[in-house]
Amino acid sequence: GAGVSQSPRYKVTKRGQDVALRCDPISGHVSLYWYRQALGQGPEFLTYFNYEAQQDKSGLPNDRFSAERPEGSISTLTIQRTEQRDSAMYRCASSFDSVNTEAFFGQGTRLTVV
Amino acid sequence: GQQVMQIPQYQHVQEGEDFTTYCNSSTTLSNIQWYKQRPGGHPVFLIQLVKSGEVKKQKRLTFQFGEAKKNSSLHITATQTTDVGTYFCAGGDYGGSQGNLIFGKGTKLSVKP
């Protein structure tokens, strides 16, 4: 596609529910990144993929967070048993590959856990 | 772990004044990238610096990478209202995975016309 697309743009969920956030990267981009951005803060690295392989998941806060990119294109970030502290903007970015790392960010998903 | 510090956190300038934001890393960086985020928007890539002592210019913006590859700066000459936003540096860590960019907290620039 023309840019990185994330859905939904906004998600309100009740504490304890699972949520799945979707990212559709720029077509042909090898690398895909997930970040979390709190208000007034910089993006915080969560995980990244090259093709379908998860290269680094060191930024995932705990085992309630997981991500996949089964066919090397669309990715899903899943948060199980959501907690209020999970509320944030979740941003996906993609880059041509892991050498040409200019990252193109999507508009993000604003997650609110009530 | 690697930390990237940015100062100042906020900067208010009169239109036409210059602006500089500084980025410092606790470890040697493989590269540094700069992004701009407008209010309500998403980070947009500005530039990447890779070489020690590298200086790059984009119109009124000048980017520098320190000799030790631990610090960087972004300087804007004669600011305009269109420069408003938050400027982030993001460092790639030699010790980390190649995709693990560590972002600073950003410098929020406001420009008074």
Q: Which residues pair with A23 in a beta bridge?
A: A6, A75
Tokens of B84: 């408003």
pLDDT at B93 over 90: no
Best interface-test mutation with A: which of B4, B37, B44, B101 has the largest number of A CBs within 10 A?
A: B101
Put simply, whether B88 touches A (Cβ < 8 Å) is yes
Q: Which residues of A touch B99 (CB under 8 A)?
A: 31, 33, 48, 50, 55-56, 95, 98, 101
Three-state secondary-structure class, residue B83: helix
Say how many residues make up chain B.
113
Mean predicted lDDT score pLDDT of chain B:
93
Q: What is the pLDDT of residues B4-45, one digit of tens each?
A: 999 999 999 999 999 999 999 989 998 999 999 999 999 999
- The A-side interface with B (CB below 8 A) comprises 31, 33, 35, 40-45, 48, 50, 55-56, 58-59, 91, 93, 95, 98-99, 101-108
Question: What pLDDT was estimated at residue B97?
Answer: 59
Helices (H), A20-79: none
Please report which helix (H) or strand (E) contains residue B101, including its range: strand B101-103
Element (H, E) at B63: strand B61-65
Q: Of B65, B30, B99, whose CA–CA distance to A34 is shortest?
A: B99
Put simply, the answer to whether B99 touches A106 (Cβ < 8 Å) is no
Which of chain A's residues have a Cβ under 8 Å away from the Cβ of B50? none
Mean pLDDT score, B83-88: 97
According to DSSP, residue A102 is labeled: P
Q: What is the mean pLDDT of residues B97-109?
A: 85
Question: Which residue of B lies nearest to A101 if distances are taken between CA atoms?
Answer: B99
- The nearest CA of chain A is from the CA of B106 a distance in Å of 6
Tokens of B77: 């000459």
Of A41, A43, A55, the CB nearest to B99: A55
What is the chain B residue with the closest CA to A42?
B105
Least confident segment among A19-23, B11-15, B51-55, B93-97: B93-97
Say whether B97 and A44 touch across the interface (CB within 8 A). no
Which tokens sit at B27?
A: 């470890």
Show residues of chain B in contact with A106, CB under 8 Å.
Answer: 42
A104-105/B4-7 β-pairing: unpaired
